[in-house]
């Protein structure tokens, strides 16, 4: 599960974490084109990260979205590039 890593990063003050129940808020999921769970949507200074983030030669974030889970080390690398 990705949640423990996200909570750890939040507790370290590296991210602000907002979890959304898409069953209760489908319009928000549609707004950000969420088609799978888990999906992380990345913002910087209140603005959706529009650039693609490449880590290890692979695009990890495409237009602000990361679909699927990853480990803590990958999340830290992604945050360094945002």
Separation between Cα atoms, residue 38 and residue 58, nearest integer Å: 19
pTM equals 0.85
The string of pLDDT tens digits covering residues 1-57 is 788 999 999 999 999 999 999 999 999 999 999 999 899 999 999 999 999 999 999
Place of tokens 């888990």: 38
Q: How many domains does the chain have?
A: 1
- The CATH number of whichever domain residue 77 belongs to comes to 3.40.30.10
Considering only CA atoms, which of 67, 70, 71 is closest in space to residue 42?
A: 67
Task: Look up the domain containing 13 and give its range.
Answer: 3-81
Separation between Cα atoms, residue 28 and residue 48, nearest integer Å: 14
């Amino acid at each position: 599960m990705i949640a423990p890593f996200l909570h750890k990063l939040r507790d370290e003050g590296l991210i602000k974490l907002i979890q959304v129940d898409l069953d209760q808020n489908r319009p928000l999921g549609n707004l950000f084109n969420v088609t799978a769970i888990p999906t992380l949507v990345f913002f910087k200074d209140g603005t959706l990260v529009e650039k693609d983030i490449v880590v290890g030669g692979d695009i990890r974030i495409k237009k602000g979205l990361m679909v699927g889970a990853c480990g803590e080390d990958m999340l830290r690398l992604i945050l360094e590039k945002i």
